[in-house]
Amino acid sequence: MNDRRTISPWRERLASPLTWHIAGFVLLLLLVIGLGIRVGLDWAATNSHSTDALAGKQVQLKALDLETAPLRGLNKRVEESHTRMHAFYDKRIPPNYSSISTRIGELQVASGVRLSRVQYTQGPPGSDLTEISADAGISGDYPQIMRFVNSIERDQTFFIIRAMALTGQQGGLVNLRLRVSTWLRPADAAASGLPTTPPEGATPTPEPSAGKEGE
């Protein structure tokens, strides 16, 4: 009888709906707490990943910004380069063979040297310019030679000295072989004939009817 009296209240409690309600509430509370912890951990991990991804994108954006910086204003710089190039052509590129030989003759007279065996060679046409080479023998004393060479290098007409070699010296007279290059526009080179070699000591002048070398 005593056992029945002791067990009976427990059975009554287990059979009570309130007990089951309390147990269900506790289980739900534990489940909610567990889900909250899981959601918090996932959110922290997601937030950290998003922050890292955002930082990575910012680094990539900065790298792209640095890579594309030289290209900014490229169109304007190209236009400016074309403008300067055309200004250079107009100022320093001769218009025809006649102007080349005339200018070399003027520098010869000014320096006091004597030119001989002046030969012009036309290079293959380029997209913008065609190279014209002038190979000549020069004789004079050393100061005259140096004056002529310096005047060629500094002249407004664009000349470049390609080769220079001493071919002889007698007393104060120096004989030098000089090869210089200048350029013509392809259309001007095609329309002009190669000038002929002038007599020794004479100012080189072109013959209007002379053809190109090799014709």
Domain of residue 147, CATH code: 3.30.70.60
Asked, for residue 159, whether it belongs to a domain, the answer is yes
Let me know whether 102 and 162 are in one domain: yes
Give residues with Cβ within 8 angstroms of 141, minimum separation 6.
172, 173, 174
Average pLDDT, the chain: 79
The answer to whether residues 103 and 25 belong to one domain is no
194 vs 142, residue with greater confidence: 142
- State the CB neighbour count (10 A cutoff) for residue 165: 9
Model pLDDT for residues 27-58, shown as the tens digit of each residue: 777 887 877 787 777 777 666 666 767 777 77
Q: Are residues 52 and 106 in the same domain?
A: no
Indicate if the pLDDT at residue 8 is higher than 90.
no
Higher pLDDT, 146 or 190: 146
For the entire predicted model, the pTM comes to 0.58
Q: Is residue 185 part of a domain?
A: yes
User: Do residue 135 and residue 61 come from a single domain?
Assistant: no
Q: 200 lies in a domain?
A: no
Q: Are residues 105 and 50 in the same domain?
A: no
Range of 24-28, 64-68, 122-126 with top mean pLDDT:
122-126
Residues 183 and 117 in one domain: yes
CA distance 211 to 129: 20
Task: Give pLDDT, residue 136.
Answer: 94
pLDDT above 90 covers a percentage of the chain that reads 36
Task: Please check whether residues 46 and 112 belong to one and the same domain.
Answer: no
Same-domain check for residues 60 and 123: no
Range of the domain at 6: 2-65
Neighbours of 87 (CB within 10 A): 10
Domain annotation covers residue 121: yes
Residues 161 and 100 reside in one and the same domain: yes
What pLDDT, in 10s, does the model give residues 56-89? 777 777 777 777 777 777 778 778 888 888 888 8
Q: How many domains does the chain have?
A: 2
- Let me know if residue 142 belongs to a domain: yes
9 confidence band (pLDDT: 50, 70, 90): low
pLDDT of 209 over the 50 cut: no
> What local confidence, expressed as pLDDT, does residue 14 receive?
60
What is the reported pLDDT for 208? Answer: 35
Contact status, residue 184 vs residue 132, Cβ threshold 8 Å: yes
Beta strands in the chain (DSSP E): 114-122, 130-141, 160-170, 173-184
Average pLDDT over residues 146-171: 92
Report yes or no on 52 lying in a domain. yes
Instruction: Give me the pLDDT at residue 205, please.
Output: 41
- pLDDT of 206 above 60: no
